[in-house]
Chain A
Amino acid sequence: MKYAKLLKCIRKIPGKLRNFNIFSAYGKIGFVFVLLMVLTGIISVLFMGEAHKIPSGASLEAPGLIHPLGTDDLGIDILAQILHGAFVSIQVGFFSAMLAGIGGSTLGILAGYCGGWTDKLIMGICDVMMVIPQLPLMIVLGAFFGPSLRNIILVIVILSWSRPARIARARVLSMRQEGYIIAAKSYGAGFRHLAVKHFIPGILPIILVSIIRLISKAIRAEAGLTFLGLGDPTSKSWGVILNRSINFSGIYYTDYWKWWVMSPLTVLILLVLSISFIARDMELLFHNKGDKL
């Protein structure tokens, strides 16, 4: 019973999105592209098996009928790698954004509600996180934790929870001044009741937008880290492909770069742009024209 309103609020969001026409033309394109990437990721995992790991042709073949995007130096089909990379990127983006969004907003609600030293502590850490050079810190953490997909997600979460925390805190602070919260409190509502019934439904839309932005940030960060060689070489993400192709010794003097470097690069850019288009539309949808990432 207690969670009824929360559930209703969550249910309302797909309702709002059901009408596809609320998206702008760019938003629609973005949505379709993200959907396509999710699908290709799923297809590659379900049906293509180990095609992204096992050589299936001569090394460094030019694009042709059997290998639409050619093969890399080990003779592995590049298209299969790109398709599998979609799965890795979306996995990283989704999980790190979800964890950072949920964790960050929980801390933000706590900070806004409790005030006092809890607030000071959480906001102090937030401030530090905002100023600290993020990528170097990611590299340090990544180097110490060791290369694996789970650790990369962990590192990204550690560095990106501060934004949703800030947003949630600001919202909770302003909500606390409103009549219905004061009324609920005077009836003896505790923190759990307030959080589930009022705070979470109240912050859900803006947190959702910030989670979508975090997805794009996480994908960019993952690509950057793996490009630097901090990725797990066995989980072929787009950054890993880029790293491998750029460091191939003859890459500047041959035509291989046209498919080997450009294909992961293009899908990466397209995915990041698509997500940002969706985020912009969602922002307008929820009437939140606050600061951007």
Chain B
Amino acid sequence: MKSYAKKHYLLVLLAVITINFFLPRLMPGDPFLYLSVEEGEVAAAFSEEQIAQYKAYYGMDKPLYMQFYDYILKLLQGDLGYSIYYNTSVLEMILLRIPWTIFIVLCALFLSSFFGTLLGAISARLREKPADKFMYLFMVVFSEIPSFLLGIVFLFVLAAKLKWFPLSGGITIFAPHTSMLSYMGDLLHHAALPIITLTPAGLGNFYILARNSMLTVLSKDYINTAKAKGLKKWQILYKHALRNALPPIIARIFLSLGSLFGGAVLIENVFAYPGVGKLMREAVLKRDYVLIQGIFLTVAVTMLLMNWLADVIYKKLDPRVFR
């Protein structure tokens, strides 16, 4: 099984920072005009000295590698710059929003890996029977549907028509919460639809992986031994087989995080859920480039951190990975 080395994380982080650094510099037009003039407005004329002064102020007169060095130095201090539109610190805005996103991503990750593995194991036991064939087809088809489209269907049918779930938002505004419990209930009620929508995206992958992994394990000798010992069927399946089939499934968690975050960005916009994805769309609509870049960097860092965490847990679970 492939586990990502530390070098890998640094490489990705460097790539993200480099993209963030060079994109605005590759843009046509003057960076300092782009900061101060709205699209379509007539730019005020500046004298040569003024431009030189502004360039010195923003550090644009330095050579490119010095600017890059300064940029990284600023990032290390947690300075992501100021939002062009909202005029507040980008980092603060993102820190307010990112817990929402992480919450739904983690919930969906847990649900999809749990149910995917469970259904995969069941399917492997019922191999080649109609139930297995049907489930396989259903899962493959289901996982292909883009999750935000599914979300729109849920939004209109379950929330707008049947009114089982709230239409939008992360919490009922101005609702008096007498106890912690009602507060939590309200949170979950709002998060339910986004999580339900995000889950199928990963479910199919986990299902197929679990099914394949179980089929390999079930053909091993020690399963025959267990059968010969007269163990019960569920004991063999869940105690002997599933345990050995788990490592590749856990490893898949690394790779599915990226697509889950991507799905979350879209789904948050379907349900107007107050996470980072919705902020990103707002930033896109307002052409707030600094904010867009900040979100991209933060999402990448969060993803890498979660990857790293999963890596650590994986090594604890499966000592064979130690190299």
- A residues with CB within 8 A of B: 26, 124, 127-128, 130-137, 139-144, 216, 220, 223-224, 227-230, 242, 246, 252-253, 257, 261-262, 265, 268-269, 272-273, 276, 280, 292
Contacts and interface: CB of A to CB of B under 8 A. Distances in A.
B238 to A, nearest CB: 26
Identify whether the interface residues of B are mostly helix, strand, loop, or mixed: helix
Nearest to B26: A144
A139 B284 contact: yes
B287 A143 contact: yes
Identify whether the interface residues of A are mostly helix, strand, loop, or mixed: helix
A252 B160 contact: yes
Interface in B131-152: 137, 140-141, 144-146, 148-149, 152
B297 to A, nearest CB: 9
Contacts of B12: 128, 131-132
A127 B11 contact: yes
Interface in B250-278: 255, 258-259, 261-263, 265-266, 269-270
Given A144-B289, A272-B146, A137 B284 contact: no
Contacts of B258: 131-134
Contacts of A228: 265-266, 269, 280-281, 284
A272 B145 contact: yes
A265 B146 CA distance: 10
Contacts of A227: 148, 266, 269
Given A143-B287, A224-B146, A273-B144, A137 B152 contact: no
Contacts of A26: 137
B300 A269 contact: no
Given A133-B303, A272-B144, A127 B8 contact: yes
Interface of B: 4, 8, 11-12, 15-16, 19-20, 23-24, 26-27, 137, 140-141, 144-146, 148-149, 152-153, 156, 160, 167, 208, 255, 258-259, 261-263, 265-266, 269-270, 280-281, 283-285, 287, 289, 292-293, 295-296, 299-300, 303-304, 307
18 contacts: A26-B137, A131-B304, A131-B307, A133-B261, A133-B296, A133-B300, A133-B303, A136-B299, A136-B300, A139-B265, A143-B287, A144-B26, A228-B265, A229-B285, A230-B284, A257-B160, A268-B149, A276-B141
Nearest to B146: A220
A262 B255 CA distance: 32
A132 B300 contact: yes
Which 4 A-B residue pairings sit nearest by Cβ, starting from the closest?
Answer: A135-B262, A276-B144, A252-B160, A128-B15
A189 B4 CA distance: 38
Contacts of B293: 140
A134 to B, nearest CB: 6
B255 A130 contact: yes
B261 A135 contact: yes
A265 B307 CA distance: 33
B280 A136 contact: yes
Contacts of A137: 19, 296
Contacts of A242: 152
B146 A140 contact: no
Given A131-B303, A136-B299, 8 more contacts: A127-B11, A133-B296, A133-B303, A136-B300, A139-B292, A261-B156, A265-B149, A276-B140
Contacts of A128: 11-12, 15
A229 B149 contact: no
A269 B145 contact: yes
Contact of B144 (A127, A139, A216, A261): A216
B11 A139 contact: no
A252 B304 CA distance: 38
Contacts of B11: 124, 127-128
Given A128-B15, A132-B300, A144 B23 contact: yes
A265 B152 contact: yes
A136 B145 contact: no
B149 A269 contact: yes
A252 B272 CA distance: 13
A268 B145 CA distance: 9
Contacts of B23: 140-141, 144
Contacts of B8: 127, 131
B227 to A, nearest CB: 28
Nearest to B142: A273
Contact of A135 (B144, B265, B283): B265
A144 B24 contact: yes
Nearest to A277: B141
B208 A292 contact: yes
A224 B148 contact: yes
Contacts of B160: 252-253, 257
